Structure 1
């Protein structure tokens, strides 16, 4: 009996091996594979400054001519680079077996490519040089699509104006970068430190034996988190790269030395993508809890305003949940390429597909955002959110940079971003909470959320942070969306009594508050390290000193602080 069972298991394993491509097609809702795939590894592609970049070419085993999908990555192009390279090889096979040439390339200074890695600066020239090389290949049919998330999306945008590019599928990424590095004018310290630590960990484990790839993949992010922990507490911020990696990281210093949005570095280089010259169709893919979300939506709306019809998908993801479930962008990417690179119309009827959190439903819309009605909840006494403003004494708290209010979940570049229980924040004395009555019916919002606050601080330089939450009947406080406003001289609307009126962009969301739940608002003065703690002075980068701020939040008839929600029918 045992022999028969063993024989049956071996037979099933053998069958699964031979049918694996068809099983994967069913799992990921893809058309059935049509071709066997061959791989030409270790190709050398010349740059315009006489270096070479390493690439692998995946192609169908047939004499037919096909379009090309270009994927350029700093995280490794194949399994020898680790888990990210393994994923890219997996996706390249899926495209190739459905009739595409796929070129997967290490960007400059990464893995097998020549040069030094300096993010963003050489990517346009190197991307255009790669397109030049493609035009010289006998198998190239003149049509290119680009695909990839995060940095792999950034390198798509910098060559998006090339006439060879006929379709783009950028996911969890953006064309303009200042708002990514300095969201709301405050440095995203967590993103910068985790990113540099991630590169160190990737380099440490490259060329690991194949059986160890999933092991190192599972340990990669925890290792990076351990590396940055001392830097999260260290000052000055300018030295945190040395604290993290034991050496100077040039791109980190470049960012910090050009911290103003009007700096030529951003205007002429890092944010120099001209969306008016992008004519290829674009399929955007984003996440409600991704730190690229706001910039991605701006890119989408810029193309819409220019008369284009990009498509948009937004899921319930944060950055790392999407990075490890890139399969969410495989099927829409293939559908997009089949339509615009092969002339097969496989588009959805409506161009926008979004996930409504709370309702746990996908919705298809003709555009984003849909029409909505502003719904105001006013901050009131006794920690309440009310439908009408009322007189109540202000609330006060002390923000001390020595023990900064921590970031919990949300739009962090962090393994534990996204929707989380905010209990750690509710225990703190530097966090205010305001809560509505129980909802007698479901309430659904889609679009941008705003917090109008009347505030006063003992310091001229400080931050105010707002977070919209869903208070469940069981007591859990789950974050929906949030944002920060950095106060400095000249910012905010000064009131006759010396207070300031500020509007905090709490970013965008699609969320249904269920019947019996409550709407909760948290107000604080930081979310470190998502936004680097405010030191209370005009020097946030070089200074190692700081001061505590006495904060006041007003909510009365003369100061009608309010949470504004985009209510949809």
Structure 2
């Protein structure tokens, strides 16, 4: 009777919609199915079923989430309305599922057990796809490669992944710098589960989180969770105390090595301002190198991606593969060119015709292909007054370009600008800065940002990156200083697809922090979790002609692209 009421209520709601939004199928839902894991723990799941026969049959979609089963993040209702059978499962220790939630650590074994269980159910349609974004995408990577290699009969037949990656270690410790904003912010939200947590989350959605802002400034870092939550958060303690990505804690939850083992078709979507962008594009490159190039969309959005076509493109992708629907795209890659506000259909990423160009940092503040003769640029970094984060990729609602013109006047930020461009240039790929650098501190960070300087003086952010030296987690990769104490640091920046118009200038910022996006570097080289002492650092960039500091910009000169309207 309850199911009938839900069906009738759903039909009445749909009857009031415009016909263009009417889904092909009504949907019924079976709540709180119990899915047994190999260790006896049961995870709860909801099953969404389209009403009536679906011809030809479409895949059963598995969605595994730690964020609950009833929110809009799963898109289960919309997918089932298109004819897909959808199972939405709460990860271990969340949403009423048994066991304890240990982020990343249990997703492979639980995911594999879930896929084998799904294949045995009478409602399984014969093929199985996976779907989801962020952590929901990680749960897909956790099972796909290993199952394709070891258990192909139960492996997923297709994957749809949005704003995600196969290993959360590198985003937590990005080139040695701790991603404080994302790590502590996410821990705060996940800790606020239950009825009281829902009320707090609703309040925080309406106003700034003052406790979180205060916690960002707490030293040592290992006390940040107690400052915001009132108690230690187990996984946050694990993250902040394991600085080296070679630690077993991180390697056991990394599925990057198994990405090339995925034989099923894959659709990837991401945004130029997403926190996972570099690693998702590297996962794309892994599949290309394995001879199985996925479908890829990269748009002008961040992690939340409200404007992302992920749902619609996933439906089209799956119907093409499993129902013989006509192809909806002329090329495997669709990328939005910022600065020109154009979509391009491309054969690959980066697009053919892209080559690195060297642009050197001059002591006069010039950015130019010419090599400087000598000189140095100096600035002071004070961790007690850390250089603030401004814009850049984030989990927030507005992560797009930000005007840096005031930020660039700070004494702890130095800027190198090109002359006005005679012709437009297009950045297409991952820029890499190579800076000859020394510091008076035992440990230091280099934060590099590229901006598009408009004729009116606005300096709009394009992409950025960070690299630490002298940290616990960087010891194995730190370059050796030369006889003058300088090291040449390679700093990979976020990938970009951006057009600098004629008359604009290219700017490269150099600083030593972006707090609290990345935790400030105290400068002592002590373990980040326990360090409380801070030291001011005198930083120096060398422009020696024999070892010039530079940035290599991937410039696209090809024309093999189809422009699409905005």
Q: TM-score, normalised by structure 1?
A: 0.88
Deviations for 1:266-325, whole angstroms, at most 9, x for unmatched residues? 2233447612331111111111111111111111111111111211111111213x1x44
Structure 1 479/493 Cα, relative in aligned 2: closer, same or farther at 3 Å?
Answer: farther
For 1:545, which of 505, 523, 533 is the aligned residue? 533
C-alpha deviation, 1:175, in angstroms? 0.7
Structure 1 554/207 Cα, relative in aligned 2: closer, same or farther at 3 Å?
Answer: closer
Deviations for 1:195-251, whole angstroms, at most 9, x for unmatched residues? 01122445456777xxxxxx966x544667333111111100111111111111111
332-341 or 60-69, which deviates more: 60-69
Aligned to 2:364: 382
Question: Which residues in structure 2 correspond to 1:243-282 (within 5 Å)?
Answer: 243-271=227-255, 274-282=258-266
Output the aligned Cα RMSD.
2.4
The answer as to whether partners of 1:201 and 1:224 remain within 8 angstroms in 2 is: no
Distance 2:18 2:26 in 1: 10
Question: Which residues in structure 2 correspond to 1:27-426 (within 5 Å)?
Answer: 33-64=23-54, 66-78=58-70, 85-88=71-74, 91-161=75-145, 162=147, 163=152, 164=154, 165-201=156-192, 203-204=194-195, 219-221=203-205, 225-271=209-255, 274-320=258-304, 322=305, 324-325=306-307, 328-346=309-327, 348-370=329-351, 371-391=353-373, 393-426=375-408
Deviations for 1:140-166, whole angstroms, at most 9, x for unmatched residues? 122111111100000011111333301
- Count of aligned pairs: 531
Distance 1:273 1:158 in 2: 11
134-143 or 409-418, which deviates more: 409-418
Aligned to 1:524: 511
Aligned to 1:514: 501
Distance 2:218 2:37 in 1: 40
Aligned to 2:3: none
Q: Secondary structure at the match of 1:341?
A: helix
Q: Secondary structure at the match of 2:209?
A: helix
Distance 1:464 1:139 in 2: 54
The answer as to whether partners of 1:194 and 1:225 remain within 8 angstroms in 2 is: no
For 2:448, which of 462, 466, 471 is the aligned residue? 466
C-alpha deviation, 1:15, in angstroms? 11
The answer as to whether partners of 2:167 and 2:253 remain within 8 angstroms in 1 is: no
The answer as to whether partners of 2:37 and 2:43 remain within 8 angstroms in 1 is: yes
14-23 or 125-134, which deviates more: 14-23
Structure 1 222/429 Cα, relative in aligned 2: closer, same or farther at 3 Å?
Answer: farther
Q: TM-score, normalised by structure 2?
A: 0.88
The answer as to whether partners of 1:351 and 1:367 remain within 8 angstroms in 2 is: yes
C-alpha deviation, 1:424, in angstroms? 4.7
Distance 2:431 2:367 in 1: 15
Q: Secondary structure at the match of 1:331?
A: helix
Distance 1:173 1:190 in 2: 17
Structure 1 300/87 Cα, relative in aligned 2: closer, same or farther at 3 Å?
Answer: closer
Distance 2:537 2:323 in 1: 60
Distance 1:87 1:183 in 2: 26
Deviations for 1:54-77, whole angstroms, at most 9, x for unmatched residues? 222111111445421111111121
Aligned to 1:24: 21
356-365 or 40-49, which deviates more: 40-49
Deviations for 1:337-394, whole angstroms, at most 9, x for unmatched residues? 1123334353523111111110111111111112312222221233221231233531
Structure 1 216/225 Cα, relative in aligned 2: closer, same or farther at 3 Å?
Answer: closer
Unaligned residue ranges in structure 1 (runs of 5+): 1-13, 26-32, 79-84, 209-214
Unaligned residue ranges in structure 2 (runs of 5+): 1-10, 558-566
Structure 1 467/159 Cα, relative in aligned 2: closer, same or farther at 3 Å?
Answer: same
Distance 2:17 2:443 in 1: 59
